[in-house]
Structure 1
Amino acid sequence: MMDQLELAALHRRSEADPPKRERHTFDFVVNGVSLFKATQASASDMCGCLSDACFEPDLASRFNVKAVNMLTLDLQAGVGHRAVLFGCPECADLACGVITVLVSRDENSVQWSDFAYENGFEPEIKRADVGPFVFDWAAYLAAFSRVQEL
């Protein structure tokens, strides 16, 4: 049985002290479980890699196509690569820390495995308690249609 992927609204409220920027992004929900929580991105004050164009049209137009392509169109059957799911809500810089996943594809499915926290200067911290997940290719693409339509 294939896993089910949905995108859910993820809202980070602004604060004055310490200063925090308001963000409207998306969480990745697999089989009803928030990966934002499961990967502990929520404890690290991260946000989703995809911006909600209704609230953040500039960020969405600059970054969503690249992020969606990393998770969909750039996937070649039999070849995998790492993609960012959650990152710094202020600058999106790797050095602040990101949650990544190894994304690989075959003809009819996509697999997410090897979840990890990375920051580019320390060894990655694997999240062995999350995944792997296997998604039907057509349903997987449909899950990203919400981001592409906004």
Structure 2
Amino acid sequence: MSAEYATFGLAPAIRAGGVLANGDYQVHRDFVDFIVDGRPLLFQLSDLDAVSPLASDIPPAIFTTHVRRLLLEAQAPLEEGRYVIYGCPECEGLECGAVTAVIEKAADGSDDFVWRDFAWQTSERADLELNGYHGIGPFRFRGDEYRAALGQLLAEGDEAQHRRRVLLIGARVATLAKLAAALRTIGVGAEIAADAAGVPADELRTYGAVAFGPTVPAATRQSVRAAFAAADVPVAYVDGLAPIVPLLVAQIEDALDRSPQEQRRLTHLAAGPRAAELDVTSTCRVQLTAYRMDRLSRTHVHEVFDEVLEPGRHRVPLAPRTTKGTSYVVARTSTHVLVTPTSALPG
């Protein structure tokens, strides 16, 4: 099959971390995704939980090697000229499986690059007949556009690892300590402070988000915002909904997501006492978890939905016991997380 021209670009993306309903931890990963014809290539692979080789938490020398491989300036890591396009987000080992493809210069002698023969690979050789992605590619990218996008990574590097830190502001020391521990477990740095007064601008620039506890006074919030504004540091601000650690982690994950809105799988979430409403842009697995606090401030967790959804708007019924009292819903895909109180949707 001849390769048709496609546009090539790059965009920041995440593998959403979190504290899952069963108590397990899912590691947060920042990476650069491939944008083909205006859409993340990862979305064409349905419900694949994976990251590209251009992850921000790998050593700079290895990051540079991955970029140069994509530019065909370094040897292919696999047989038959195959390159890893997406790998396991936990270990990146080939034995866990990876999406690979042949990357080569166009056969007509032009400066164009071709990606072809996509496959799921778990050993040194790919079996295209058994594990090929026959509906994806081949893609032909114009050389100048392709080189410019990847060359920009070499020129600027990736700063996500320096911004994957959260400043936690609040009075509940025990809750903040548990939250900080959970964030560090999934790979997000976290520090606890009473405010941001006197913190050097260089240190403020290392934060990607600031999370306020529910009881933080308005004056303190304004002071923190003023400190970041004075240092000219754009950060995301999170107003903690409740002292429930998995819920707060989900809010922070949403805040740290730097991917463009139009390139997200999960774009809308609202919930009421009887139903949740959500929008997805590509076929993917969606998990909904409800959290509520009873009158004794005890936390109750309910896994209410876990299915693969097609693109579009969906309405998911919620059992009354899952939303009784003060309650919240977290929607999760492999790449995005959204959080809402159950008062966000009438009825």
User: Distance in 2 between the 1:11 and 1:112 partners?
Assistant: 23
For 2:139 and 2:14, the matched residues in 1 are separated by 25
Give the distance between the partners of 2:24 and 2:52, measured in 1 at CA: 21
Counterpart residue number, 1:65 = 64
Partner residue, 2:145:
139
Cα-to-partner distance string for 1:18-74 (whole Å, 9 max, x where unaligned): 32111000111111122111123xx2311111023xxx3xx1514212211211123
Q: Which of 93, 97, 118 pairs up with 2:121?
A: 118
The 2-side partners of 1:62 and 1:22 are apart by 21
1:6-28 CA distance string (max 9 Å, x none):
11111122223332111000111
- Residue 27 in structure 1 maps to residue 33 in structure 2: yes
**Contact 2:85 2:99 survives alignment (8 Å):** yes
Relative distance call for 1:114 and 1:27 in structure 2 (3 A) is same
Name the aligned partner's letter for residue 141 of structure 2: F
Residue matched to 2:10: 7
Secondary structure of the structure 2 residue equivalent to 1:141: helix
CA–CA separation in structure 2 for the residues paired with 1:60 and 1:137:
27
Residue 44 of structure 1 aligns with which residue?
48
Structure 2: state its 5+ residue gaps. Answer: 158-347
Greater relative contact order structure (CA < 8 Å, 6+ sep): 1
Code of the residue aligned with 1:119 in structure 2: it is: T
**Which residue identity lines up with residue 120 of structure 2 in the other structure?**
Y
**Distance in 1 (alpha carbons) for counterparts of 2:28 and 2:104:** 32
CA RMSD, Structure 1 to Structure 2 (Å):
2.2
Distance, in Å, in 1 between the alignment partners of 2:24 and 2:127 is: 29
TM-score by length of 1: 0.82
Query: 8 Å contact 2:117–2:133 — kept in the other structure?
Result: yes
Q: In the alignment, is residue 103 of structure 1 matched against residue 103 of structure 2?
A: yes
- Deviates further, 66-75 or 88-97: 66-75
Equivalent-residue separation in structure 2 for 1:60 and 1:132 (angstroms): 31
Q: Which stretches in structure 1 are left out of the alignment for 5+ residues?
A: none
Preserved CA contact (<8 Å) 1:50 1:147? no
- What residue is the counterpart of 2:327 in the other structure? none
Letter in 1 for 2:92: A
Aligned equivalents of 1:3, 1:23: Cα separation in 2: 27
> Which of structure 1's runs of 4+ aligned residues deviate more than 6 A?
none
Matched-pair contact (CA < 8 Å) for 2:65–2:74: no
The sequence identity of aligned pairs, in percent, is: 26
Q: Return the alpha-carbon distance in structure 2 between the equivalents of residues 29 and 70 of structure 1.
A: 18
Whether the 8 Å contact between 1:10 and 1:27 is mirrored in structure 2 is: yes
Contact 1:50 1:63 (8 Å CA) reproduced: no
* TM-score, normalised by the number of residues in structure 2: 0.37
1:2 positional shift: 3.2
Q: Does the Cα contact within 8 Å between 2:119 and 2:127 map onto a contact in 1?
A: no
Residue in 2 that maps onto 1:93: 93
What is the CA-CA distance between 1:102 and the residue it aligns to?
0.7
